[in-house]
Structure 1
């Protein structure tokens, strides 16, 4: 049986193009495409429930963050794959915290979109190049021990990680921690090295997986 997909994008042409592309993937069936979060909610409330939602972020009235929050609260079984032109780390982190199971840029190749869909179906989440499954397995809490101690993360760095799992900018994080932006840069470099990641998104994904932070 094919996996049911819904597409939400306020650009009708983009929505239809995505629909046509996904329909070419043999394991997926697009049950509808809509141009707003409100229309998505109406369809779902009528019983048209997808298994995966391809969700744009920048939409009028109800943006992707709000749609993701609604889906996570009312239909947590629906997996969200964010698909956006926005490559800012703060936006990616915010979508992940609001329940997205993956994040792709609209400029990605069709093969990567298919891989993302497959990963969400099979593993429940799509990890990009920011992080590897092997790293997560090696550091998973199931192996025992406190992950922050295993990684050598101190209290100040732990506070930095937790604040980074929000949509605060690094400057705002520095203000929250009552330190200079340069000090925060030092925390970032140290944490990235200890967690073996290369970006804020990678850090957030690993922190969530290891239980260092909890999703709201």
Structure 2
């Protein structure tokens, strides 16, 4: 029996996936969570084999949660299930320890296929994402359309939280670092992107589909 934890901050999406998975033979949905922080807590108690992880969530977010969960739980399989279908996130998620990437526009059968593959020890990525990454590899630097390509993983995570309206102290608590460290990230982000304020950062994030406009405070 494959134990699954579903993580998504949108109740309808999360509960919809839970209900569909509950009807699949060989699966047991041991719980659900609406944030990265809750996912970390529930994983300790529920010991899932697979986590279906949303990427863009308030607070810790999917990238940081994946990194923490994989580091603390050897053998845990994390599959990103997200509305983001560009080629910026998949490499970062794989670096964080995810073994699969499925877009929310995928058929439910693709989600179950991804679960079955990662349980067997394989990697899984939606076809459209795999094609984009392949094209990116062959087209080289000329394909770099997003200004966020230049950011490190931690800078990328910090950007998401700043753009969502979180304060420096809140971000520092999420990453368990000092506010001074977050201000250093913030300075480097502004310098790399050629901007001067949180407002400019948020507008740039929305413009390049890096941030869901519905999450902007």
TM range (shorter): 0.5 to 0.7
Partners of 2:23 and 2:77 lie apart in 1 by: 20
The corresponding residue for 1:24 is 23
Q: List alignment gaps of at least 5 residues for structure 2.
A: 132-136, 153-217
Match of 1:169 in 2: 149
CA contact (8 A) 1:79 1:124 kept: no
Return the TM-score normalized by structure 1: 0.59
CA distance in 2, matches of 1:34, 1:43: 8
Aligned twin of 1:62: 60
Aligned partner of 2:35 in structure 1 is 36
Q: Deviations over 1:157-209 (max 9, x none)?
A: 9xx79xx9xx962899xxxxxxxxxxxxxxxxxxxxxxxxxxxxxxxxxxxxx
The whole-number CA distance in structure 2 between the counterparts of 1:120 and 1:43 is 21
How far 1:77 sits from its partner (Å)?
1.3
- Aligned to 1:123, the other structure's residue is in SS state coil
Matched, 1:100 2:80: no
Tell me: CA distance 1:44–1:170, structure 2 relative to 1, closer, same or farther (3 Å): closer
String of CA shifts for 1:49-80, please: whole Å, max 9, x gaps. Answer: 10000000000111100001101211131100
**1:188-199 alignment to 2 at 5 Å?**
none
Matched-pair contact (CA < 8 Å) for 1:22–1:28: yes
Residues 1:25 and 1:76: Cα distance change in structure 2 (over 3 Å):
same
Counterpart Cα distance in 2 of 1:96 and 1:171: 16
The ranges of structure 1 where at least 4 consecutive aligned residues each deviate by more than 6 angstroms after the TM superposition are: none
- Structure having the higher helix fraction is 2
> Does the alignment pair 1:126 with 2:106?
no
- Structure 1 unaligned runs (5+)? 132-156, 173-216
What number of residue pairs does the alignment pair up?
139
RMSD: 2.6
1:76 to 57, 74, 78: 74
Distance (whole Å) between structure 1 residues aligned to residue 125 and residue 31 of structure 2:
26
Deviates more, 1:79-88 or 1:67-76: 67-76
2-structure distance, mates of 1:110, 1:34 = 19
Relative to the length of structure 2, the TM-score reads 0.58
Q: Quick check: 2:33–2:42 contact (8 Å CA) kept in 1?
A: no
Give the secondary-structure state (helix, strand or coil) at the position aligned to 2:99: strand
Distance, in Å, in 2 between the alignment partners of 1:44 and 1:83 is 17
